Amino acid sequence: MAEAEAEAAGDAGLGSAAAQEGAELAAVIGATVPTGFEQTAAQEVQEKLGSASRISRDRGKIYFEVPARSLPEVHRLRSVDNLFVVVQEFKDYQFKENKEDALKDLEDLVKKLPWTDPLKVWELNNSLKKKKTKRKKHNLQSPASRGKLSDGGEEGGADQNSTSDQEDCAQNPVAVEPTGGQDTENPQGVTSRNGVEEEKDNEQSDVKVGVEASSESGPKAGEGEVKVLRFRVTCNRAGEKHSFTSNEAARDFGGAVQEHFQWKADMTNFDVEVLLNIHNNEVVVGIALTEESLHRRNITHFGPTTLRSTLAYGMLRLCDPQPTDIIVDPMCGTGAIPIEGAAEWPYCYHIAGDNSPQAVKRAANNISSLLRKNESKDSSTALGVPLDVIQWDICNLPLRTGSVDIVVTDMPFGKRMGSKKKNWDLYPACLMEMGRICVPGTGRAVLLTQDKKCFAKALSRVGHIWRRAQTVWVNVGGLHAAVYLLRRTWERADGTRSFW
């Protein structure tokens, strides 16, 4: 029986033989991505891994199958936030109406799931991480180090980027029976939120805290020859028709997992994170392969609003950069977009600018951090990055007319930065100046904003120089925002703005 094998593997801490078997293992990988950019992520997976992806009805997730040996390439994907190996997926799970019956079914499900191969994939993933970074190795081995997951995590403000990813285990490591509705850092979390699709940016949103409930916490992992694994269950639930809360599902499912594997429940110093994703009648059980979101790769100095690297990648990819293109971010903030661009499209030239001296300083510090990282990787070929950062006035850029191929920027939402009132003057002036510097006919702009009404009005005023080609609706820190792909017309952009 698969469960008997899995139990034996769990008790033994999963023998190293799994690494050898990994060569033949196939894994169904689930990945959380910025909502709205599921198709972009699917295209990247097809290009880099040769695998077709299925986009989930639960927004912000894709699924694809790869050989387990391809895990290192999977971790190098630029468009995904978190990764997990799928244990089993139920596309039309029938929940009982009675709460006790529904929760009992979830408990019974644990014994029926095919855990063996996913656990081998999890172990192979761990062995790869141990080779790569000692920090992650310590996270798996040492209880004290696990708390580092939240370091440098607050990605700026909830305005520009969902802080919900760093939830990863920073919050509420309380034992037993947490009270309901622990949405912790973000109101986007799971519990009985019915706004569903918006909060799905991050896959393991909050109810991890509900896992430990039905089992006593065992913070001391066995240090003997046979290591007893520590675990937690994170439940992410969306939908109105469930009779139970996310905390209750995580608690009861977690109790059954503990009983099945004889693992120890531990909210913060865990080795294994079991994921229970419930979206209406769709249920996916998985095992996390990432300890912290992959979007935390470039930024070390955060501002009041810091865009996630994965969203920056999606925006850049939308404008299809070509070798030798000059790409400008005129409101760069901490530099997330140009830094991502320089890392992924090094054959383009990237210019970052902002009117705030503090923002320019942060961006410069982040570029320096990237340079140091590149040097530490291979000092013999450390050539720098094709990126400059400048302080300037967005409405009067020190760039020649028609000299820029692409403009990509995160415009002020008017919440944490600027104001809605100022946007009514700023947006049309920005679009006019962007039109001036872009090459007529071939220039593109990809602009993110939550102030959609103001943007639509501004765009109508400069319709002679910009045509809207595509709109991608995204969730940014719980805010319903839009990414607009604009194409430059052949019309001349005059410097005069008298018609504003």
Q: Tens digit of pLDDT for each residue in 261-292?
A: 999 999 889 999 999 999 999 999 999 999 88
For residue 234 the two structure tokens come to: 């994170």
Q: Say yes or no to pLDDT of 371 above 60.
A: yes
Instruction: Report the pLDDT value the prediction gives residue 304, as an integer from 0 to 100.
Output: 54
Burial of 334 from C-beta contacts in 10 A (0-12 / 13-18 / 19+): buried
d(C-alpha 30, C-alpha 52), whole Å: 12
Residue 242 near residue 285, CB atoms below 8 Å: no
Of 130, 172, 128, nearest to 150 (Cα)? 172
Instruction: Name every residue whose Cβ is closer than 8 Å to that of residue 236 and which is 6 or more positions away in sequence.
Output: 189, 190, 203, 204, 205, 206, 207, 246, 275, 276, 277, 278
Residue 405 near residue 326, CB atoms below 8 Å: yes
Of 193, 207, 229, 230, nearest to 277 (Cα)? 207
Q: Say yes or no to pLDDT of 208 above 50.
A: no
Please give the share of the chain, as a percent, with pLDDT higher than 70.
69
d(C-alpha 85, C-alpha 70), whole Å: 13
Sheet holding 444-449: strands in order across? 387-391, 349-354, 326-329, 406-410, 444-449, 479-488, 466-476
**Lowest mean pLDDT segment, chosen from 26-30, 41-45, 207-211, 348-352:** 207-211
Q: Tens digit of pLDDT for each residue in 174-196?
A: 233 333 333 333 332 333 333 33
**Structural domains of the chain, with CATH:** 2-288 (3.30.2130.30), 309-488 (3.40.50.150)
300-324 mean pLDDT: 84
Catalogue the E-assigned strands of 330-371. Answer: 349-354
**Lowest mean pLDDT segment, chosen from 211-225, 229-243, 421-435, 473-487:** 211-225
d(C-alpha 397, C-alpha 430), whole Å: 10
235-254 mean pLDDT: 93
DSSP letters along 85-131, please?
EEEEEETT----SSHHHHHHHHHHHHHHS--HHHHHHHHHHHHHHHH
Of 301, 310, 332, 271, nearest to 122 (Cα)? 271
* Residue-averaged pLDDT of the chain: 77
